[in-house]
A and B are shown apart, each in its own frame.
Chain A
């Protein structure tokens, strides 16, 4: 079955770059889009962006170009870099398959921004 697993540091300092990787198993990445979504503690969901297996990307304009995604189909992984983080970027970050709808989700990883 399709499984996604996020990995990366749980603590990032303000102004630094948050880097996360999503490992995909049970399906080839080819032919699909792959997304990142985040959820601040106790709050709602926010779409960050998606990347196609070919490398095409689309990001949420409200994030002011701080997000950058990449994909490595040979490793069945895709990644998120999120720059200039502040405490407001503290959230659980989820990776998902596809968009509209987001049909498979990873379990999520909590990233805390703090010095």
Chain B
């Protein structure tokens, strides 16, 4: 079972704003380790969406933004589009497990 908890699903109408939370603990996000976010479209490999909690790789629209506070992180999608329907995963490092860990995943429905 994952040490990073995400809501199973979120939904929104086109054009709306949705946020996805990623709750960790003092051995991962709370310890200061970076948080990254991945988007997995149906039937495809995950794609890096946000790295270092807030940075976007080249080519990722600025509709996607990340934040981090304490032992939690969040991904926000503004101006929701049909093409944003996907599974989203957060990822960090856990010093107790000495392993890279992923969140439980959130399905976004538009």
Contacts and interface: CB of A to CB of B under 8 A. Distances in A.
A94 B46 contact: yes
A44 B36 CA distance: 15
Given A44-B105, A105-B47, A100 B100 contact: yes
A100 B51 CA distance: 8
Interface stretch (B10-18, B76-84, B89-97): B89-97
Nearest to A45: B102
A100 B34 contact: yes
Contact of B99 (A62, A101, A105): A62
Given A44-B2, A45-B89, A103 B48 contact: yes
A31 interface: no
A7 to B, nearest CB: 15
Q: Chain B interface: which size bin?
A: 20 to 34
A108 B45 contact: yes
A30 B89 CA distance: 28
Contacts, number: 54
Given A94-B46, A107-B44, A101 B51 contact: yes
Nearest to B102: A45
Nearest to A108: B45
Contacts of A44: 2, 89, 102-105
B110 interface: no
Nearest to A105: B45
Contacts of B45: 94, 105-108
Contacts of A101: 34, 36, 48, 51-52, 91
Interface of A: 44-47, 60-62, 94, 99-108
